[in-house]
């Protein structure tokens, strides 16, 4: 449920700005909106501080194992040390890469004495290192000596010796600064320096918790400075505007009286865009990690579809993965994660959601008789619902699920629009959706189109055309509206049919599992070697299949809810999260040379 908001305005004396913001922070119920772009030295300083912390955190690795956090006595000194090591590491890696390319370039020539070649050149014995086509070796002048060092790709790498300076039309190498063995030794030394600097940065990972705490504190400071700079002004008065959840208004009024604020509470206007605060029962909040993953939140005046999203997402997950064996692995993995890390996780909703999804997958796998595939199972293992082993039945079920979910969307709109007569238009859309269900069954499954469905489509079109707008505007742009409705009807057919992806992906999951099972079985278990290879095939194949299933959840399971269902519900997911003001004033400023 989306919690209703009140628009609030707080007025204080200009001299009390900072004190008021500190008091408002302790209340923690008002989402502050800046009345003007926040700017100024204090805002810039806070942003710079956060930037320095972020760059320092990016430079040090996360500890490979749990370490005892170290306290920070000199924040600026620590950041300067981190930046120094980071810059040193960047330079060393650049040097290493430059030397690697040089070594690779000269490796084919072998390790020869650079100083000897220079000495001979000084004595009038000219030695040229050349690269030339092999077929042209016999075309060299008779007064030069040739030593082929290597051949590769039709190119001869040669040393040409002459007692005179000569010019050749093919590539002639300039001697490197060092011989190959010296270059390799330098490279090894650089690798040791890189390892040393990386070790020093790893040791500084003990300061990561402290740096993250400093970052959180500085973000609250930035929030404070932005709120202070974004307040409106009227003579000797300053004021701010924001939004407060209706259940918190009484507490806000009490604090306003206590701190002597001027407080105006009013309903948001049509031009206002309040933040969204979703309040649901604990079991419905399980779906929140999915919303966080796809970074979506409904607008304040939209619908909270969390309950429907959770139910259908669980069903989609089960059908797309479709294997009780995989579901059991997910369940065991979730249990192990909770046992190992449960006490350290601040938010356990992702774990509980995985429990629901794993159990749903196990149930679907038992219904279809799928345990790490189907073909390898003995005949004694029967699906609990044999009806689901028929492809046409599963496709029909997919269309049915689509029609039900899309009908729920329009039924929801009917309830929201009632008692307005325009609610009848969504009743018409429900008729159209079920007509599309029968059409999909006819075209794809070869079912007979029922006669009563003709009445459904006629009734649906009449209701949509007649009541989609207010009666006073019925004839305005009527032709354009009919064309738009016709295109939307076609789109509704595509939306219902799109649910067949549940069948297609689920079938592919089973087929891939069976393919890897057959590959392993074809090798047999007659010897240790074949058994080992078969086990590797099974392990790799089923892990790959589960990873592909996870991708399918994001691509198809989320899409059906966020696009098909949400478009029929009229949702644009245009909201932003309610974030009550909790900024804190601080005097910290990081200065790094």
Q: For 413-460, write each residue's pLDDT tens digit.
A: 999 988 889 999 999 999 999 999 999 999 999 999 999 999 999 999
To which residue do tokens 């790709």 refer? 153
Q: For 88-147, write each residue's pLDDT tens digit.
A: 999 999 999 999 999 998 888 888 888 888 888 778 888 888 888 888 887 777 778 888
Confidence category of residue 344, pLDDT binned at 50, 70, 90:
confident
C-alpha count within 13 angstroms, C-beta hemisphere, residue 41 = 2
Cα(558)–Cα(505) distance, integer angstroms:
14
Instruction: Compute the average pLDDT of residues 511-515.
Output: 93
Task: Tell me the whole-structure pTM to 2 decimals.
Answer: 0.79
Distance, CA of 22 to chain centre: 35
Both tokens assigned to 412: 């929801």
Closest alpha carbon to 273 in 583, 5, 2: 5
Cα(350)–Cα(353) distance, integer angstroms:
5
Do residues 306 and 278 lie in contact, with contact meaning Cβ atoms separated by under 8 Å?
A: yes
3-state per-residue secondary structure call for 270-328: CCCCCCECECCCCCHHHHHHHHHHHCCCCCCCCCCCHHHHHHHHHHHHHHHHCCHHHHH
Q: Report the residue count for the chain.
A: 593
Q: Is the pLDDT of residue 538 over 90?
A: yes
Q: For position 392, what pLDDT does the model report? A: 94
Q: For position 67, what pLDDT does the model report? A: 62
Q: Is the pLDDT of residue 475 over 80?
A: no
Nearby residues of 402 by Cβ (< 8 Å), 6 or more positions away: 437, 495, 496, 497, 498, 499, 560, 564
Do residues 361 and 324 lie in contact, with contact meaning Cβ atoms separated by under 8 Å?
A: yes
Cα(316)–Cα(405) distance, integer angstroms:
12
Do residues 516 and 541 lie in contact, with contact meaning Cβ atoms separated by under 8 Å?
A: yes
Q: For position 376, what pLDDT does the model report? A: 85
Q: Is the pLDDT of residue 40 over 90?
A: no
Q: For 388-417, write each residue's pLDDT tens digit.
A: 999 999 999 999 999 999 999 999 999 998
Q: Is the pLDDT of residue 265 over 70?
A: yes
Do residues 459 and 428 lie in contact, with contact meaning Cβ atoms separated by under 8 Å?
A: yes
Output Rg (C-alpha) for the chain, integer angstroms.
36
Distances (CA, A) of 186 to 92, 194, 320, 387, 473: 11, 12, 55, 71, 83
Burial of residue 171 (number of CB atoms within 10 Å: 0-12, 13-18, 19+):
exposed
Q: For position 115, what pLDDT does the model report? A: 85
Q: Is the pLDDT of residue 592 over 70?
A: no
Instruction: Compute the average pLDDT of residues 319-338.
Output: 94
Instruction: Compute the average pLDDT of residues 241-261.
Output: 93
Q: For position 110, what pLDDT does the model report? A: 87
Could you tell me what percent of the chain has a pLDDT over 90? 50
E strands, 517-558, are none
Q: For position 590, what pLDDT does the model report? A: 65
Nearby residues of 129 by Cβ (< 8 Å), 6 or more positions away: 109, 157, 158, 159, 172, 173, 175
Conformation bin of residue 156: beta by default, left when phi > 0, alpha when psi is -120 to 50:
beta
Do residues 305 and 566 lie in contact, with contact meaning Cβ atoms separated by under 8 Å?
A: yes
Nearby residues of 575 by Cβ (< 8 Å), 6 or more positions away: 275, 276, 297, 298, 299, 300, 302
Do residues 460 and 428 lie in contact, with contact meaning Cβ atoms separated by under 8 Å?
A: yes
Q: For 4-17, write each residue's pLDDT tens digit.
A: 999 999 999 989 88
Closest alpha carbon to 204 in 392, 109, 95, 77: 77
Both tokens assigned to 280: 């649901």
Both tokens assigned to 106: 């000269």
Distance, CA of 395 to chain centre: 30
Confidence category of residue 382, pLDDT binned at 50, 70, 90:
confident
Q: For position 87, what pLDDT does the model report? A: 93
- Whether omega for the bond prior to residue 272 falls within 30 degrees of 0, making it cis, is no
Pairing mode, if any, of strands 262-266 and 171-173?
unpaired
In sequence order, which ranges of 32-145 are alpha helices (DSSP H)? 41-59, 75-106, 114-122
Q: Is the pLDDT of residue 188 over 70?
A: yes
Do residues 422 and 467 lie in contact, with contact meaning Cβ atoms separated by under 8 Å?
A: yes
To which residue do tokens 């805002």 refer? 43
Query: Can you list the domains of the chain with their CATH numbers?
Result: 1-36+230-274 (3.30.70.240), 39-103+183-225 (no CATH), 112-178 (no CATH)
């Amino acid at each position: 449920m989306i919690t209703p908001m009140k628009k609030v305005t707080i007025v204080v004396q200009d001299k009390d700005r900072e004190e008021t913001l500190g008091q408002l922070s302790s209340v923690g119920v008002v989402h502050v909106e800046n009345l003007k772009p926040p700017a100024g030295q204090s805002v810039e300083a806070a942003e710079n501080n956060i930037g320095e912390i972020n760059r320092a955190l990016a430079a040090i690795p996360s500890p490979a194992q749990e370490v005892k956090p170290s306290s920070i006595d000199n924040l600026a000194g620590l950041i300067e040390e981190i930046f120094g090591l980071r810059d040193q590491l960047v330079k060393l890696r650049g040097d290493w890469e430059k030397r690697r390319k040089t070594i690779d370039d000269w490796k084919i020539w072998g390790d020869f004495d650079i100083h000897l070649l220079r000495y001979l050149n000084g004595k009038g014995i000219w030695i040229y290192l050349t690269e030339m086509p092999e077929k042209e070796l016999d075309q060299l002048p008779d007064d030069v000596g040739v030593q082929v060092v290597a051949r590769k790709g039709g190119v001869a790498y040669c040393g040409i010796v002459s007692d005179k300076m000569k010019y050749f039309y093919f590539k002639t190498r300039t001697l490197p600064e060092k011989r190959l063995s010296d270059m390799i030794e330098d490279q090894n030394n650089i690798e040791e320096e890189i390892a040393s600097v990386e070790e020093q940065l790893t040791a500084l990972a003990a300061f990561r918790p402290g740096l993250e705490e400093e970052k959180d504190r500085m973000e609250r400071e930035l929030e404070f400075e932005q709120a202070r700079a974004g307040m409106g002004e009227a003579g000797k008065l300053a004021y701010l505007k924001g939004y407060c959840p209706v259940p918190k208004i009484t507490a806000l009024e009490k604090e306003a009286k206590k701190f002597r604020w001027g407080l105006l509470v009013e309903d948001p206007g049509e031009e206002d865009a309040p933040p969204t605060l979703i309040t649901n029962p604990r079991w419905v909040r399980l779906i929140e990690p999915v919303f966080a993953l796809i970074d979506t939140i409904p607008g304040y005046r939209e619908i909270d579809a969390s309950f429907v999203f959770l139910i259908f997402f669980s069903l989609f997950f089960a059908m797309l993965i479709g294997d009780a064996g995989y579901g059991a692995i997910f369940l065991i993995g979730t249990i192990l994660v909770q046992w190992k890390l449960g006490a350290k996780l601040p938010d356990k909703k992702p774990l509980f959601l995985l429990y629901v999804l794993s159990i749903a997958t196990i149930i679907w796998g038992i219904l279809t008789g799928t345990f790490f595939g189907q073909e390898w199972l003995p005949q004694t293992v029967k699906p609990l619902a044999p009806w689901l082993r028929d492809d046409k039945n599963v496709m029909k079920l997919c269309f049915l699920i689509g029609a039900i979910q899309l009908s729920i969307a329009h039924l929801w709109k009917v309830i929201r629009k009632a008692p307005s007569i325009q609610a009848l238009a969504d009743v018409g859309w429900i008729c159209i959706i079920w007509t599309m269900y029968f059409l999909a069954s006819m075209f794809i499954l070869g079912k007979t189109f029922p006669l009563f469905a003709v009445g459904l489509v006629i009734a649906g079109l009449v209701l949509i055309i007649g009541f989609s707008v207010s009666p006073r505007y019925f004839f305005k742009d009527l032709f354009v509206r009919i064309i738009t409705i016709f295109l939307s009807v076609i789109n509704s057919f595509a939306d219902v049919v799109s649910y067949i992806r549940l069948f297609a992906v689920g079938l592919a999951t089973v087929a891939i599992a069976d393919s890897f099972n057959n590959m392993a079985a074809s090798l047999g278990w007659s010897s240790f070697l074949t058994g080992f290879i078969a086990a590797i095939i099974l392990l790799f194949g089923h892990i790959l299949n589960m990873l592909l299933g996870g991708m399918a959840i994001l691509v198809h399971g989320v899409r059906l809810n966020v696009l098909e269902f949400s478009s029929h519900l009229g949702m644009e997911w245009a909201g932003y999260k309610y974030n009550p003001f909790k900024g804190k004033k601080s005097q910290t400023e990081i200065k790094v040379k």
